[in-house]
Structure 1
Amino acid sequence: MGVWATIRREWFIIGIVLVISAAKLQPAVGVRGGPLRPEITVAYVAVSLIFFNSGLSLKTEELTNALLHFRLHLFVQSFTLVFFPLAVWLLLKVLALSPIDQWLLRGLQTVSCMPPPVSSAVILTKAVGGNEAAAIFNSAFGSFLGIVVTPVLLLLFLGSSSSVPFTSIFSQLFVTVVVPLVLGQACRCFLKDFLERRKPPFGAISSAVLLVIIYTTFCDTFSHPDVELDPTSLLLVVLIIFSIQVSFMLLTFVVSTRSGSGFSPADTVAIMFCSTHKSLTLGIPMLKIVFLGYEQLSLISVPLLIYHPAQILLGSVLVPTIQSWMTAQQKTEVDVVPVYAEGGEEIDSSAHLMKRRMTQPTVPYHDQSSETSAGGRD
């Protein structure tokens, strides 16, 4: 019974291990042009399903509130499209003195210029119970913004004279992000009572779709054409990528939780994932467009191929820890709230709360966290 309970609780982590193992054994199944046709089933169907599911599960008032959270949007977009590229550029000035392959280092710069992904950041935010609406908005808005900003950053930092077909990229984003999200919200208007009564497992559905994306991502990674790579350089790049992700997640956490930041714990979760995740779906096609004709294109692409699965793995591993932190913060906010006297002076909230509990009748405690995990916020 204990083993089965553990499997049910940790099924997503177990699923990640299984799909990666399957990708390693048979990468040809999930590569572009393979039996699964990920260029259609993942790029369009899976991503569309994720955002339709989000539109169906997300309360309209929450999405509306997220649209007005300008400070959060400014923080995420500034971090991922301004601070991130500049910080990596400065880091590469130092790493240029190292024996690491220079084309791999240029690949690290291309990673820094990419917009947020349109799937993993949203699903991981949902899995933790963070501000899903803010994650959806910033993933979608960042992707649209990246259509223009990313090529400009690539040309600025690395140089290329190739033109970018903005129209085709914009069309794909509109079809896979905006349309499914709007359709999901429209369906929710008709099914609202049913959804609130039955509480479908929206989180589990999105997680299952993410497993498919992880599988095809690793199929591409394991079947990538062999390039002349120095094993030492490759290992160092992997370590640098994980170091960048951990450092930047910690940085966004510290900044967004400082006193007076104005961000809730749920906001912090969305900020951590959206600010540090980078899009492979947009990244690889954009690299092929901007660096068309480069013999070293495969080397430039390697860091992005590593970064994408690394961010999913790291994010998935950190989900329980971040979830525990957020739950603890929310309970603290519930237990201790600022209380003000008539003159506006703050008084001891904990003492006031204890006195109120002693003088008022007992009210049954309503566990909001269980409602959330059951689909209340999904």
Structure 2
Amino acid sequence: MKTNVVRLIKKEWFLLAMVGAILLSLVIPNVGKSAGVLHLDKVTTLGIALIFFLHGVGLSPTALRDGVANWRLHLFIQAATFIVYPLLWVCFGQAFLVFMPSALAFGFCFLFVLPSTISSSVAMTAIGHGNIPGAIFNASLSSLLGIFLTPLFIQFFMGLEGAQFDVMSSVTSIAQMLLLPMVVGQCVRPFILTFFEKHKSSVNKLDKYVILLIVFNAFSDSVNEGIWHSFSLDYVLLSVAICAVVLLVIVNGMKWSAQRLGFKRADEVAAVFCGSKKTLAAGVPMAKVIFGADPRLGMLLLPIMIYHPLQIFYCALLANRYQKQAIEHEQQKEVNV
């Protein structure tokens, strides 16, 4: 019995650690919050930079070129982010306005028109053995497009004037967070590739450790923001239910569509994680600029505050499943050889 429990813990340690991170955020949110005791916002940024550096070491230049040239994947992901998601508001927006306060309803509108995340999308694509170059390109492209498209969608759907954003600052931030570490990794690849290959199993676990810190940080921030007690319990539960349904429909819809369109498994993984996510990091600053000093800002941000930790948790579980499938596939190939 004890042996079976130990075996289960070893096999599902990532899932158990995810649940533990969430429970920990409920107990000591001040420790895990951004700018808290552990400064996890900075720690995870450094961790992500290290991950991308190692990906730069592990990626061959040929694979990188192939990832950027994969236009079908880019079109599929960007269409999911900026066409499929906004269509949810077109189809269900009026129902939202009927059954909930207008500020909360428009919060879902804001959620649907946000760009994708960068760091967690690429990190989870890496965990799932997906197309990392394609994920980096699309996550970065989504953020750049969102600078222009999100305010335009808001103006069209909600009648609010969009704000101007510092494009160069956004480009610089993306380059520093993703491209610079990867370029450095590519530059030193010839010198440390042998060491990298030798310790590849340990390197692969680093992605998961960083994701765990991101989960702890995200849930701690949501607890500190008071989203679980600042609003009516009915509205919080309704928001959680809608976010969960939307996430499940989009993620599984993208998996099904990618398979029907004949995407390779690696491209499917990148598409699912880049096309289904919405950014909290860029969403909050955008909301503050677009909505200004609107006293309803807290309710407008409630959907993305709920959706963010849900998407990280669910997609991390999915990434773990993709990883197991990839390992089993590689083992099967070795047996057949």
TM-score strictly above 0.5: yes
The equivalent of 1:68 in structure 2 is 69
What residue is the counterpart of 1:275 in the other structure?
Answer: 275
Deviation of 1:225 after TM superposition, in Å, equals 4.2
Structure whose CA Rg is larger: 1
Residues 182 and 125 (structure 1), Cα distance of their counterparts in 2 relative to 1, 3 Å cut: same
After superposition, residues 51-200 of structure 1 pair within 5 angstroms as: 51-98=52-99, 100-158=100-158, 159-200=160-201
Distance 1:62 1:248, change over 3 A: same
Q: 8 Å contact 2:63–2:133 — kept in the other structure? A: yes
- In structure 2, what is the Cα distance between the partners aligned to 1:298 and 1:264? 41
Partner of 2:256: 254
- The aligned amino acid for 2:170 is I
User: Per-residue CA shift, 1:148-188, capped at 9, x if unaligned?
Assistant: 32233233323135432333333222211121121122222
Number of aligned residue pairs: give it.
333
- Gaps in structure 1 of 5+ consecutive residues: 335-362, 367-378
Find the aligned partners of 1:223 and 1:22 in 2 and give their Cα distance: 13
Q: What fraction of aligned residue pairs are identical, expressed as a percent? A: 28
Structure-2 change in CA distance of 1:124 and 1:33 (3 Å): closer
CA, structure 1 residues 18+168, in 2 after alignment: closer, same or farther (shift >3 Å)? Answer: same
2:297: which partner in 1? 297
**Structure 2 match to 1:371:** none
Name the aligned partner's letter for residue 219 of structure 1: S
Does the 8 Å CA contact 1:79/1:275 hold for their aligned counterparts?
yes
2:10 to 8, 28, 34: 8
Shift of 1:323: 5.2
Contact residue 115 and residue 150 of structure 1 kept, 8 A: yes
Deviations 1:245-294 (A, max 9, x none): 11112221222211xx2411221122112111111121112212222211
The 8 Å contact of residues 47 and 119 in structure 1, kept in 2 or not, is answered as yes
1:23 to 25, 43, 46: 25
Check conservation: 1:101, 1:230, Cα contact below 8 A.
no
Contact map agreement 1:46 1:213 (CA 8 A) in 2: no
Q: Is the 8 A contact 1:108 1:303 kept in 2?
A: yes
CA contact (8 A) 1:110 1:154 kept: yes
Aligned to 1:358: none
SS in 2 for 1:96: helix
Question: 1:103 and 1:329 mapped to 2: Cα distance?
Answer: 48
CA distance in 2, matches of 1:179, 1:4: 41
Cα distance 1:189–1:284, how it changes in 2: closer, same or farther (>3 A)?
A: farther
Distance in 1 (CA, whole Å) between partners of 2:336 and 2:270 is 28
1:191-249 deviation line (CA, Å, top 9, x unaligned): 12332344252321011011111111111100104675221122111111111111112
Q: For the structure 1 residues 262 and 15, does the alpha-carbon distance in structure 2 shift closer, same or farther, using more than 3 Å as the test?
A: same
Structure 1 runs (4+) greater than 6 angstroms displaced: 324-332
